[in-house]
Amino acid sequence: MPTVFVVDDEPAIAEAILFALQAEGYQGRHFATGQACIDALAAEQPALILLDIGLPDGNGFDVFRRIRELGQVPVIFLTARSAEIDRVAGLEMGADDYVVKPFSVRELMARARMVIRRRAALDSPRHAAAVPSAASQGFAHDELRREVRFRNQPLVLTLHEYRLLEVLLRHPGRVFSRGQLLEQAWEAPDHRLERTVDSHIKSLRAKLRDIDGAVDPIRTHRGMGYSLELP
């Protein structure tokens, strides 16, 4: 049974997560402080850490940095902070995902499963041969010129189409919610307009199909968001 560390000082939330983990076939271990989690990492490497940002003994971002000093265990942030800067900061630090409180435990489990499966695939000895790079699948990204070519043909993109594709290209396989894509691709994101992400994804897909109608690298994850899948 893969082990998942739950680092959260709210007993009710931790209990709900532990119950859901057990139902999903995982072994959950609860820590109310960041230090307790760090101490446990000296003896055990879990499959995933669910890390609250607001902890009684310090900031979850600081705990994350200490986790990274010890290894590359996948981390999903749990945060009551809704500010864009906090969520973006977590992703830019290298976290695998984040979920904002109050959250659906069912959605959290779906995200946890996906992160664990993705990390297992990355750790597979066949990963280098089995998972091609964006370049080998026909994408060429010139960040200085802010241009993307597909199958050696330039994509004529609007500003927000480019920014969306840029985010997906940087993190192939990672599932981004509409809110996450909105925050990273729009300068002044308004979450009342999250559905505008759908229309831009639709236009991106159309432009990719115009070049190669046999592929659709942008994958929709129902109820969760989008990812760039490289077959």
170: domain CATH number is: 1.10.10.10
Residues whose CB falls within 8 Å of the CB of residue 182, separated by 6 or more in sequence, listed in order: 189, 190, 191, 193, 194, 196, 197
Domain end call among 123, 153, 168: 123
Q: How confident is the model at residue 194 (pLDDT cuts 50, 70, 90)?
A: confident
Q: What's the CA angle centered on 112, arms 109 and 118, to 5 degrees? A: 140
* Residue 92 scores a pLDDT above 70: no
Q: Per-residue pLDDT averaged across 135-158, rounded? A: 82
Residue-range definition of the domain harbouring residue 38: 3-123
* Residue 199 scores a pLDDT above 80: yes
Please state the domain count of the chain: 2
**Residues 117, 37 within the same domain:** yes
Which tokens in the block code for residue 99? 């979920």
* pLDDT number for residue 21: 96
Domain end call among 99, 123, 147: 123
Q: How confident is the model at residue 13 (pLDDT cuts 50, 70, 90)?
A: very high
- DSSP alpha helix (H) spans, the chain: 11-23, 34-41, 60-70, 84-93, 105-123, 127-130, 159-170, 178-185, 196-211
Domain end call among 123, 144, 169: 123
